[in-house]
């Protein structure tokens, strides 16, 4: 349906999010040695891929209509992927046209696809025949340069499958591929924002005082930072004109695609608070719908890098400066904490560790991306900050969520250089350098222990989280130097 102001609204049930357990990579001999095999990259034999490919082609050939989009991933022409998308669904092709870079009419006659995506959302795979887990499939073949997607209407699979390809190709070209947003200040200073879903990556990078490069996927080359995409894919739950005016404005524009939002049947107005379909409601729009964006999607080397975490345990400081070793530790940890959700009887936050703040999209071992980041940080003297957008004064259910205004003030102080001259206090459990004061931020907020009514309860919770960090990092103990290994929490 069309919403009242023109956006297209699609419902993708029963799949209202990605299906990472249904993602497979063909273990072709030429690439098998490169891939970080396991839960993230599950192997599928090349002959099973071929069988699935034949059946996807047969399914698509029987469609009454097929829609094709030839698009680019990578704003830097030196590191650009040409992708052809084929689907029986017009709205999915409108989605990818929003999300990727659009060649001009003069570019299209000579367009040659480096990768082809065959999208068959209504087709179900046969696990016995095709080697899949269920009828849903997201299967990549780097040897054949093809992606097969089916059994799910969720549009995010189209976007993230290309990101997975870029995560394989870019390091081969000495470009760090990153799950991060990026923006540029009035003085031309670039900042990166890493973070998992729900940490505020899109919200905080869409700062009305800075220019947006991109909200989700970037490369860092010898020339600087460049966006992989030509649009944004923001979470829409509880979106409001007051809280996120730049993003909200796009939901009133023709060409925007809304996923799984609920419409008033009489007025066709969107109820952004309604999560009856899913909490993971989404809005897709081209980059130029954001007024203050960087045309061309390229920027210089970052001066600041921000790691965002939504700590639902309520024990991490709201902002801290990281050493180089701590930056590597927290990058490989990729920590956030999700609230328990609606499952009956579950009251505790759930820790999530996702290497490089995007493990599910990596192809190489996480250590390769971390090593590249470490060298780039050193070479360009970038400062790194850990910012907690989660809870304070107690864990989820007791404490309160950090106010967006306070988080924005802290980040602006960090990016402007103000915090370079502010004394710091060492957090005794996490070993983090916490600024003693920040303009427009209550001083008590900067010390999480003082915000808890029961300091002993804070101490116990902090020790518990520290132990979770240590346990998770055991998997990287043999691939990092001792200074990085020892840069984690002390508790």
Contacts of 13 (CB under 8 A, 6+ apart): 153, 260, 277, 278
Catalytic residue check, 179: yes
Average pLDDT along the chain = 95
Catalytic residue check, 160: yes
Which is the catalytic residue, given 55, 76, 207, 216? 216
CA 24/CA 44 separation, integer angstroms = 6
- Whether the Cβ atoms of residue 340 and residue 349 lie closer than 8 Å to each other: yes
Report the half-sphere exposure of 217 (CA within 13 A, side-chain side): 26
pLDDT at 349: 76
CA 212/CA 204 separation, integer angstroms = 10
- Whether the Cβ atoms of residue 268 and residue 212 lie closer than 8 Å to each other: no
Pairing state between β 282-286 and 257-259: antiparallel
Quote the crossing angle between the two packed helices 156-172 and 90-99, to the nearest 10°: 40
Of 213, 193, 209, residue with least CA distance to 201: 193
Mean pLDDT throughout 352-365?
A: 96
Catalytic residue check, 202: yes
pLDDT single digits (tens) 140-158: 999 999 999 999 999 999 9
pLDDT at 344: 36
pLDDT single digits (tens) 239-278: 999 988 989 999 999 999 999 999 999 999 999 999 999 9
Domains of the chain, by residue range, sit at 8-172, 301-485
Q: Measured between alpha carbons, how far apart are the two ends of the chain, in Å?
A: 53
Mean pLDDT throughout 109-122?
A: 96
Of the candidate CATH numbers 3.40.640.10, 3.20.20.70, 3.90.480.10, 3.40.449.10, the domain formed by 8-172 belongs to: 3.40.449.10
pLDDT at 398: 93
pTM, two decimal places: 0.94
Q: Which two tokens stand for residue 19?
A: 């299906």
Of 34, 33, 20, 32, residue with least CA distance to 368: 34
pLDDT single digits (tens) 360-384: 999 999 999 999 999 999 999 999 9
The residue assigned the tokens 């999915």 is 92
pLDDT class of 343 with cuts at 50, 70, 90: very low
CA 150/CA 154 separation, integer angstroms = 10
Report the half-sphere exposure of 453 (CA within 13 A, side-chain side): 5
CA 388/CA 336 separation, integer angstroms = 9
Catalytic residue check, 18: yes
Residue 56 pLDDT > 90, yes or no? yes
Which is the catalytic residue, given 160, 235, 406, 408? 160
Class of domain 301-485: alpha beta
Which is the catalytic residue, given 15, 119, 159, 179? 179
Catalytic residue check, 242: no
pLDDT single digits (tens) 414-431: 999 999 999 999 999 999
- Whether the Cβ atoms of residue 262 and residue 274 lie closer than 8 Å to each other: yes
Which is the catalytic residue, given 63, 80, 144, 197? 197
Of 212, 96, 112, residue with least CA distance to 161: 96
pLDDT class of 207 with cuts at 50, 70, 90: confident
pLDDT single digits (tens) 29-41: 999 999 999 999 9
């Amino acid at each position: 349906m069309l919403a009242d102001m023109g956006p297209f609204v699609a419902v993708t049930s029963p799949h209202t999010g990605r299906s990472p357990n249904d993602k497979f990579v063909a273990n072709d001999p030429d690439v098998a040695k490169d891939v970080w095999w396991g839960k993230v990259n599950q192997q599928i034999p090349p002959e099973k891929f071929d069988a699935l490919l034949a059946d996807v082609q047969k399914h698509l050939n029987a469609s009454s209509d097929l829609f094709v989009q030839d698009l680019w991933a990578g704003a830097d022409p030196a590191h650009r992927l040409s992708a052809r998308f084929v689907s029986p669904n017009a709205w999915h092709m409108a989605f990818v046209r929003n999300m990727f870079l659009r060649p001009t009419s003069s570019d299209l006659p000579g367009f040659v696809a480096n990768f082809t995506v065959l999208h068959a959302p209504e087709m179900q795979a046969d696990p016995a025949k095709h080697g899949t887990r269920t009828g849903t499939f997201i299967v990549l073949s780097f040897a054949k340069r093809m992606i097969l997607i089916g059994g799910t209407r969720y549009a995010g699979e189209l976007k993230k499958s290309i990101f997975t390809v870029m995560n394989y190709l870019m390091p081969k070209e000495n470009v760090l591929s990153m799950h991060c947003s990026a923006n540029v200040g009035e003085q031309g200073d670039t900042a990166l924002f890493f973070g998992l879903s729900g940490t505020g990556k899109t919200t905080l990078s869409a700062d009305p005082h800075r220019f947006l490069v991109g909200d989700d996927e970037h490369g860092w080359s010898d020339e600087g930072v460049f966006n992989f995409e030509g649009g944004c894919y923001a979470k829409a739950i509880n979106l409001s004109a007051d809280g996120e005016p730049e993003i909200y404005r796009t939901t009133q524009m023709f060409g925007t695609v809304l996923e799984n939002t609920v419409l008033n049947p009489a007025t066709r107005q969107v109820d952004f608070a309604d999560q009856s379909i899913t909490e993971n409601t989404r809005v897709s729009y081209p980059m130029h719908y954001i007024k203050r964006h960087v045309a061309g999607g390229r920027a210089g080397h970052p001066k600041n890098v921000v790691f965002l975490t939504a700590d639902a345990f309520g024990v991490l400081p709201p902002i801290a400066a990281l050493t180089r070793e701590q930056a590597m530790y927290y990058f490989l940890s990729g920590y956030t904490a999700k609230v328990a959700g609606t499952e009956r009887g579950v009251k505790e936050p759930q820790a999530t560790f996702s290497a490089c703040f995007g493990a599910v999209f990596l192809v190489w071992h996480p250590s390769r991306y971390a090593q590249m980041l470490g060298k780039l940080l050193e070479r360009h003297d970038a400062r790194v900050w850990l910012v907690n957008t989660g809870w304070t004064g107690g864990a989820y259910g007791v404490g309160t969520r950090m106010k967006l205004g306070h988080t924005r003030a802290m980040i602006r102080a960090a990016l402007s250089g103000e915090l370079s001259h502010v004394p710091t206090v060492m957090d005794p459990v996490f070993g983090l350098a916490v600024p003693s004061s920040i303009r427009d931020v209550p001083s008590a907020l900067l010390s999480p222990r003082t915000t808890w009514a029961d300091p002993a309860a804070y101490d116990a919770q902090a020790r518990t989280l520290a132990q979770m960090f240590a346990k998770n990092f055991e998997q990287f103990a043999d691939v990092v130097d001792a200074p990085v290994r020892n840069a984690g929490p002390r508790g």
